[in-house]
Amino acid sequence: MTMGFEAGQDAFARAVTDPEAALPPGVTSRRGEADAMRFAVYRNNVTVGLIRALEMRFPVARRLVGEAFFRTLARDYMRHELPASPLLFEYGDSLPAFIEGHEVSESLPYLADVTRVEAAWTRAYHARDAHPLTIAELAAIRPEDLGATRLVAHPSAALVRSAHPAGSIWAAHQSETVTPPRAWQPETVLVARPDMEVTVRILPERDAPFAQALLAGEALDAAAAKALAADATFDFGSALVGLVSLGAFSARTDDEDLPK
Amino acid sequence: MTRFDERETGLPRRSGLGLKPEHYQSINDGEPDVGFFEVHAENYMGAGGPPHRWLETIAAKYPLSLHGVALSIGAAGPLDKAHLARLRTLVERYRPASFSEHLAWSTHDTGFLNDLLPLPYTDETLQRVCDHVDETQQALGCRMLLENPSTYVLFEESTIDEIDFLTAISDRTGCGLLLDVNNVMVSAVNHRLDPYAYLDRFPVERVGEVHLAGYDEAQDGAGDRLLIDAHATEVKDDVFALYEHLLRRAGPLPTLVEWDNDVPAFDVLHAEARRVDGALAAEAARRNARAA
């Protein structure tokens, strides 16, 4: 049978992502008949390729749930959402939200946040390069201007605030042998790539509201007020120097060379 | 329609290798004797970071081939303008000696399917592919090479032979061709054709680059041999023999060894490149001896 080019590709695309679907019309072989094993090569290529992209992006999640279950999870996700573009390093941006709604989160409630750290790692790796704000540049701000100063988040910087020790779990799975986190407590993780190395750091929990407010573009004094309200032991100086030395910011908003 | 410069490809008539992140450091430090490196364009479409830093360093030392794997030139629907713009950014930044893409499709309105999918060869699809090649060359401001596919199925509605289809695209758009010898073997075995007869009919004077790779082997539902384009091993002996036959017919050509899955240590890849350079040198010597 003959069908139009568009209709033919519609049918092919549907069949290639749905293992239950019949073979698309018009597909044949030299023997003169359609062959499911031949069409299965395309189905397999699509599925295996997308699962591999997720395996490469989420190696810690894969270790946490095991290779076989990760493949199942990845296949479920693939049926839920195909890549929106050919930039496969972006595929899986919505995997954390998908995992949150998946039954696996009943037994592994921290899994979604660990994938948030892994997703942030890849985004930081491919982020726009930018000079990180240095301690010297910070020190050049006049004391009377400091409170009203807003810092610009480095293009690679991201914060993951978790009710679980997501950063410790991620860190423990960077080596062959895994030592479980000593304390099971909420963690806030800063992912950044000030130069060529992506860093993943667990922030002191009392600094978390401050970091979150600054990365959202709030002024230093407003951010400090939020942190103090949450924890009276918050220390402005050490928190700010800590974040700047991790490469969390690229500039101050009053810098003349800033993109407006 | 603008026809772009039909000069020979800028790639040297040498072996080339796919550039893989796990080999950045050893290539940069060891500066191995390889004719060129090829990258998949889509892996360098991030805004910044180590991939660009390394590619700048290595592209300063070696000729670069930019090979797209996701433009979906064989799609029934329109080309993705955002993707074309990303390709143009890469071409302007890295000035590759060659840009190539596939006679296949991978993007549909349901999303990106991440495989090189086949299309029927008809007057309608020929016109669509020509429009897409033309649009790509206009957008990038250069001539491109179009690669013959490896396929596992045929289409009842096809009315045009694959070589005639590729030749017509090249005639109408001025594009060059990328001849993947492994794909020739895979498709020939899968569709019970003679791979040597395919090569002997191929318009080799339009070939700007050759690809070699390893295939996997399976069986179809009828128990027939089914070869799969896998890029996960060394080049198989029958493909290499077919390649040597091509060289006898066409003379030395820029030749890439593709190894994209289960990537081995760089030394293993480099040994494949040396095997290719050996075949290229032998053919050059054979021609010199004949001319003398």
A243's CB contacts (< 8 A; 6+ apart) are: A190, A203, A207, A210, A211, A214, A249
Rg (CA), chain B: 18
The answer to whether A6 contacts B120, with C-beta atoms less than 8 Å apart, is: no
Task: Give contacts of B 259-288 with A, CB under 8 A.
Answer: none
What is the ipTM metric for this complex? Answer: 0.94
Give the CA distances from residue B18 to residues A52, A133, B12, B203, in Å, rounded to whole numbers and listed in that order: 19, 37, 15, 25
Instruction: For residue A249, list its beta bridge partners.
Output: A153
Q: Is the pLDDT of residue A256 over 50?
A: no
Concatenated DSSP letters for A37-65?
Answer: HHHHHHHHHHHHHHHHHHHHH-HHHHHHH
pLDDT tens sequence across B250-262: 999 999 999 999 9
Per domain, the residue ranges of chain B are: 15-291
Per-position DSSP letters for A216-252, written without gaps between them: TT-BHHHHHHHHHHH-TT--HHHHHHHHHHTT-EEEE
A3, A31, A84 ranked by CB distance to B111: nearest = A84
Which residue stretches of chain B are H helix?
24-30, 50-59, 81-94, 123-140, 162-173, 181-190, 195-201, 237-250, 266-291
Contact A29 B155 (CB under 8 A): no
**From CA B292, how far away is CA A20, in angstroms rounded?**
64
Chain A positions touching B120 (Cβ under 8 A) are 5, 8, 26
Task: Give percent above pLDDT 90 in chain A.
Answer: 89
Specify the pLDDT at position A149: 95
Distance set, CA B63 to CA A160, A189, B14, B154, B269 (Å): 41, 41, 11, 37, 18
Distance CA B280, CA B251 (A): 8
Q: What is the pLDDT of residues B105-133, one digit of tens each?
A: 999 988 999 999 999 999 999 999 999 99
Sort out which chain A residues have CB atoms less than 8 A from B69's CB and list them: 86
The topology under which CATH files domain B15-291 is: TIM Barrel (3.20.20)
pLDDT of residue B110: 85
Q: Is A85 on the interface with B (CB under 8 A)?
A: yes
Per-residue pLDDT of chain B (292 residues; tens, 9 = 90+): 566 665 545 899 999 999 999 999 999 999 999 999 999 999 999 999 999 999 999 999 999 999 999 999 999 999 999 999 999 999 999 999 999 999 999 999 889 999 999 999 999 999 999 999 999 999 999 999 999 999 999 999 999 999 999 999 999 999 999 999 999 999 999 999 999 999 999 999 999 999 999 999 999 999 999 999 999 999 999 999 999 999 999 999 999 999 999 999 999 999 999 999 999 999 999 999 998 8
Question: B188-197: per-residue pLDDT in tens?
Answer: 999 999 999 9
A144: left (phi over 0), alpha (psi -120 to 50) or beta: alpha
DSSP result, B32-94: ---SEEEEEGGGG-SSSSHHHHHHHHHHTTS-EEEE-S-S-TT-SS---HHHHHHHHHHHHHH
Chain B residues within 8 A of A34 when measuring between CB atoms? 153
* CB B280 within 8 Å of CB B17: no
Q: Using alpha carbons, list the distances in angstroms from residue B213 to A138, B116, B183, B271.
A: 54, 16, 8, 13
Contacts of B292 (CB under 8 A, 6+ apart): none
